[in-house]
Amino acid sequence: MNSNEHATPSVQQQELAAAGVEYLLPSYVDLHGIPKSKMVPLSHYGRMMGGSELCTGAALEGIPQDVSEEEVASHPDPDSCRVLPWNSKVAWFASDLWCRGEPFSACSRNILKRAVSRAADMGYAMKLGVEAEFFVLQDTPDGGYAPLSARHHLEKPAYDVARLMDNFPWISNLVAAMNKLGWGVYSFDHEDGIGQFEIDFNYFDVLAMADNYVFFRWMANEIARQAGGFATFMPKPYGDRAGSGAHFNVSLADPETGRNLFAADNDPRGCGLSPLGYHFVAGVLRHLPAICAVVAPTVNSYKRLILRGSMSGFTWAPVFRCYGNNNRTNTIRIPLGGGRMELRAADSSCNPYLGSAMVLMAGLEGIAEKLDPGDPHLDNMYLKSPEELAALGIGTLPRSLDEALTAFAADPLSKEVFGPEMYQSWLDYKMQEWTSYANHVGDWEKKRYLKMF
Ligand code: GLU
Ligand code: MG
């Protein structure tokens, strides 16, 4: 029998039927980390779990497959199953792509799984928390966009209670949905951009967190749409406002006991980080420019990674290649209490599988080579002059996607993490994205140059 749809339903299938689920989404991602899938009736659960659902890789953005090639098959992870909080007839699975009977090397989830298994070989399990920042906006009749709340402009809307309450109907639905999924939301607020929000919730094993972040972007959009808006994960929708980070909070645990191996009671450097944690930080610092290309992967990402730009205040976004204590002016911050490192370069547009795979492999290299990141920077790094920074040996993060891609291409870690096919495909795709942007003649330059001479 090539179909087991008539076989005894599995426990999970029975549970889904009892919950009223009728359809399944064995979902995988394209290069951007956007979920894609066919929809499968619940009666085909068994076949689907065995990899029956095929797709042409060439139909997905940035996937190294030609139209003539063998299809890729979706292999759902049963542990990732969740009923959509906004539509109880449908359940979603994060899935790995396979090709010709084996894991497809260019699948983002497989790329992360390879890094996770390298960590397991060394005796570590990576934990990841993502601070989800995003804007919820609405389309305006003139073709533009605006916040849902029509209150007057505020110079500093961070933590503004009135604007948070204006958005309560959809944000409380989103938080309830996250908690229904067991994500343990512990706070949410209006952020420093107008119409910008942050929702903070538990950390997870890195693979589960990457699945959750992919799902979160979709879910936030669905719930915002019910309120007549849309969620945007474009890192910098307003040039004169703060952008949206997706800060990665990273630690390594003992896979057996779950003990946090980055925690330290007696850290002579005062950050509450273990020697292992410092080695990891040093590995991430070594590869930061290449990592930047992956965790801040769009043209727009680099309009976020600035000190001030056209803003009145600071952006809170990282600019310099350095680490420090509980001090947001460093790209890597060790938050108060220690036991983790926060990579602030990561933004809301990243593919979380690829981004966390790069971070993990860089950190493991730091551990293997016992690298030392030096002492943490405690000062306001935003206020340092170029001369002071040069004296400290601190460079900047890439200033554009172009610079970041050059760093990615030059760093051997990139190909090691991505595998040769996805490395080339990702780089080609992103270089084209950059070229298309660079060759575009936009409003800013027309306004400036058209009648200048
Ligand atoms: N929105 C800032 C960023 O772009 C971060 C603000 C914060 O520290 O929460 O990274
Ligand atoms: Mg924030």
Instruction: Using only the alpha carbons of the chain, give its radius of gyration.
Output: 22
pLDDT at 227: 95
| Residues 103-149 pLDDT 10s | 999 999 999 999 999 999 999 999 999 999 999 999 999 999 999 99
**Rounded to the nearest whole angstrom, what is the distance from the C-alpha of residue 374 to the centroid of ligand 2?**
27
The verdict on the CB of residue 238 being under 6 Å from ligand 1 is: no
Query: Cβ(245) to ligand 1 under 6 A?
Result: yes
pLDDT band of residue 3 (cuts 50, 70, 90) is: very low
In sequence order, which residues have a C-beta less than 8 Å from that of residue 107 and are 6 or more positions away? Answer: 28, 72, 96, 97
Q: Check whether 8 has a pLDDT greater than 80.
A: no
- Of ligand 1's atoms, which has the minimum distance to the CA of residue 198? 9
pLDDT of residue 376: 97
Residue 328 CA: nearest ligand 1 atom is 8
Q: What is the pTM of this model?
A: 0.96
Ligand nearest to the CA of 309: 1
Q: Do domains 14-104 and 117-429 have the same CATH topology?
A: no
pLDDT for 6: 53
Cβ–ligand 1 distance for 127 under 6 Å, the answer no
* Predicted local distance difference test score (pLDDT) of residue 422: 97
**Maximum CA pair distance of the chain?**
78
Span from the CA of 192 to the centroid of ligand 1 (angstroms):
8
Q: Phi and psi dihedrals of 408, rounded to 5?
A: -60, -45
Does the structure show a pLDDT above 50 at 258?
Answer: yes
Ligand 1 near 303 CB (within 6 A): no
- Rounded CA separation 343/350 (Å): 13
pLDDT in tens, 217-244: 999 999 999 999 999 999 999 999 999 9
pLDDT band at 80 (very low <50, low <70, confident <90, very high): very high
Closest ligand (CA of 331): 1
243 close to ligand 1 (CB < 6 Angstrom):
yes
Nearest CA to ligand 1 atom 7: 316
- Give the model's pLDDT for residue 7: 61
326 alpha carbon, closest ligand = 1
The CB of 201 under 6 Å from ligand 1? The reply is no
Q: How confident is the model at residue 309 (pLDDT cuts 50, 70, 90)?
A: confident
Residue range 117-429 in CATH 3.30.590.10: yes
pLDDT tens digits along 36-50: 999 999 999 999 999
CATH 3.90.1580.10 fits 14-104, yes or no: no
pLDDT score at 139: 97
**52: pLDDT strictly greater than 90:** yes
Q: State which of 191, 316, 332 you would mutate to test the pocket of ligand 1, scoring each by most atoms of that ligand within 8 A of its C-beta.
A: 316
> For the residues 285-313, what does the mean pLDDT come to?
93
Q: pLDDT averaged over the chain?
A: 95
Domains of the chain, residue spans? 14-104, 117-429
Cα dihedral 12/17/20/26 (nearest 10): 50
Q: What is the pLDDT of residues 312-356, one digit of tens each?
A: 688 999 999 999 999 999 999 999 999 999 999 999 999 999 999
Distance 298 CA to ligand 2 centre (A): 20
